[in-house]
Amino acid sequence: MAFSPRFLDDIRDRVGLVDVVGRRVKLVRKGREYGGLCPFHNEKTPSFTVNEEKGFYHCFGCGANGDVIAFVMNAEKLSFPEAVEHLAGLAGLPMPRETPEDRALEKRRAGLGEASEAACRWFAERLRAPAGKAALGYLRGRGLDDAAIARFRLGFAPDGRDGLKKALIAEGFDDAVLVEAGLLIRPEDGRPSYDRFRGRVMFPIADRKGRVVAFGGRVLEGDGPKYLNSPETPLFHKGHMLYNLDRATVAVHDGAELIVVEGYMDVIALDRAGFAGAVAPLGTALTEDQMAALWKLTPEPILCFDGDEAGGRAAAKAADRALPLLEPRRTFGFAVLPPGKDPDDLIASGGPAAMRHVLDRRQAMFDLVWNLELGQRPLDTPERRADLEKRLEERVRRIADRSVQEHYRAAFRERIWRTFRGARRPGRPGQKASGREPIPLVGGRALASAGAAPRRRQQVVLTTLLEHPALADEFGAVLGGVDFDPDLDKLLQALQKRLASDPDLDAVTLKRHLSQDGFAGLVEALCADDVMVHASFARRGGPADAARIGLEEVLALIFRARRREELRASARYTADHPDAEAEARFLAFRKDVEQGESRMFDAGDEQDGPAGDKD
């Protein structure tokens, strides 16, 4: 059976090569590629690589290479048609039937692509003609230069009813082909067909290979929707495609961030500001197919939403749709713009640095879900807090991947305990009820001294884990957010790896294993008196609850210090960008930091925490 090139491209686009290969080969990520032992010959040293971005595998040992179809053929011992049928099933694509009608359809599709390309050229010519003066002025007013207009192949559809129709028919295109391509509208009452796009600035929409398949048009004046997209056609399915994905794919391969925004002009503005990995959905909420396309390029695309109510709803909807699809190294970051600003506005007023600031402060998926549920209703009674736990658990159960599900569950439990422990545990004798939980300084005043530098706190954390290994799993999600010094981070990874293979290791055995792994000097130093004096709660044989509380308090100090540093960075940014908007953002951030600290440190404490944290 012969398969059309477009059908085979659809399979390659929808089925991840890493997913298919990973079912047979244990792959390890190495930069932009994955590596493992070749499944096609015996080897002890990995020489087999997979490049998801290029859709290609290669073995430097035996020379095996090819795309996802070739891999299935060789690995499963299938013929080409059998491999295609297998992959079509994974992709959810019906197998084409080799009939005269199907061959005619494929030929017609080729004609639709040619018609779309011809229309793109005609629209671009009209933009430079006298009739396109207003459209060109609009684009100039939005800050676009000739290079940007040419790069995105922007054009103009004049206001007449049949300008495009006459031009393309004169080139030899059939009326029926132009209707099927979405370029013309044919009335049901039998009247002649007419141009779909009239009086609009035109944005060509390309497939993954850069072939024009559809258009979006922005009205300049008069009635009608502000933006009008091509209808669904044999070439164009808006729930599967993303604007600018072809160019963004190249940029992401070269190291750019993948950023999802709402509209055509936002994508172009980001591209001109140096953020070349920008894409946009086509008038709909982000679909599962579009999410899969994004994850093929990078494990954590950034979804960027306006900071208004509509943007909040869009972020919530995206999170709800993405939650069941999460996997290890497959999630989203959520960046929120200032109220009343879209990326185009923000860059126009604050330049690339303002956009960079928004992207750098993006939320993780976990934090977004937490904040969505936390803000739904008051949490001032045990029943309402129990309802929060129930709603979070319902969210967690929707995650299909068991590993991610368990990490979310543990992290939510940790966050709930942090947030509401003040309502569950009594205060110190003689302390006035303040509604806030005071955190006693662990290890007495010693940890609040000048000796309690950031590294010392990191050492205390690791000392506690060495003496109480069971806490490593309980605090796993929180530990991932700590920026340990390189040598301490390597020890933490080794510790977690040991416990992952044997969760029941006791402290003595764990330290012996780590010493054999090359960390003898560091383990000895962490258990020495100069560290242990700051972590008396962690001594082996002491109460596990005391170690747990002490570890949580040290981590709270670490995160508090980091928030203070972020606040100082925000203050420096505001000083360099002295405008009302930057000042408002800084004040809001400072308030957020101070409110967070008010939940951590009681107002009546004699000390304000470690001296190293003061502004």
Q: Is 124 helix (H, G, I), strand (E, B) or coil?
A: helix
pLDDT-derived band at 274, boundaries 50, 70, 90: very high
Q: Which of 55-64, 127-136, 321-330, 596-605 has the lowest mean pLDDT?
A: 596-605
For position 579, what pLDDT does the model report? Answer: 65
Mean per-residue pLDDT over the chain, rounded: 83
| pLDDT beyond 70 at 323 | yes
| 444 Rama sector, left if φ>0, alpha if ψ -120 to 50, beta otherwise | left
- Residues whose CB is less than 8 angstroms from the CB of residue 445 and which lie 6 or more positions away in sequence, other chains included: 607
pLDDT-derived band at 395, boundaries 50, 70, 90: very high
- The predicted model scores a pTM of 0.60
Percent of the chain topping pLDDT 90: 41
Residue 511, H or E segment: helix 507-514
| pLDDT beyond 50 at 277 | yes
Token pair 């126009």 is at which residue? Answer: 348
337-375, pLDDT tens digit by residue?
Answer: 887 788 888 898 889 999 999 999 899 999 999 988 887
DSSP 271-303: HHTT-TTEEB-SSSPPPHHHHHHHHHH-SS-EE
State the pairing for strand pair 259-260/278-279.
parallel
Q: Which of 219-228, 393-402, 534-543 has the lowest mean pLDDT?
A: 534-543
| pLDDT beyond 70 at 205 | yes
Give dist(CA 34, CA 58) in Å, integer.
Answer: 11
For position 415, what pLDDT does the model report? Answer: 84
Whether the CB-CB separation of 479 and 461 falls below 8 Å is answered with yes
What angle do the packed helices 288-297 and 309-322 form, to 10 degrees? 80
Q: Which of 39-43, 73-77, 241-245, 554-558 has the highest mean pLDDT?
A: 241-245
Give dist(CA 276, CA 229) in Å, integer.
Answer: 23
Own/partner contacts of 188-193, CB < 8 Å, gap of 24 or more, are 192/162, 193/165
443-468, pLDDT tens digit by residue?
Answer: 333 343 333 468 888 999 999 999 99
474-529, pLDDT tens digit by residue?
Answer: 787 678 778 788 889 899 989 988 888 788 888 999 999 999 989 999 999 888 87
Give dist(CA 70, CA 68) in Å, integer.
Answer: 5
Residue 225, H or E segment: none
Beta bridge partners of 36: 48
For position 442, what pLDDT does the model report? Answer: 39
Q: What angle do CA 192, 196, 199 make, to 5 degrees?
A: 120
Q: Which of 378-382, 469-473, 528-532 has the lowest mean pLDDT?
A: 528-532
More confident residue, 420 or 139: 139
For position 397, what pLDDT does the model report? Answer: 94
For position 401, what pLDDT does the model report? Answer: 92
Nearest to 209 by CA among 67, 10, 32: 10
Q: How many CB atoms are located within 10 Å of the residue 525 CB?
A: 13
For position 418, what pLDDT does the model report? Answer: 75
For position 598, what pLDDT does the model report? Answer: 46
Q: Is 333 helix (H, G, I), strand (E, B) or coil?
A: strand
Give the distance from CA 595 to its chain's centroid: 28
What angle do the packed helices 5-14 and 288-297 form, to 10 degrees? 80
Please, what sign has the CA dihedral across residues 275, 361, 296, 203? negative
pLDDT-derived band at 566, boundaries 50, 70, 90: low
pLDDT-derived band at 600, boundaries 50, 70, 90: very low
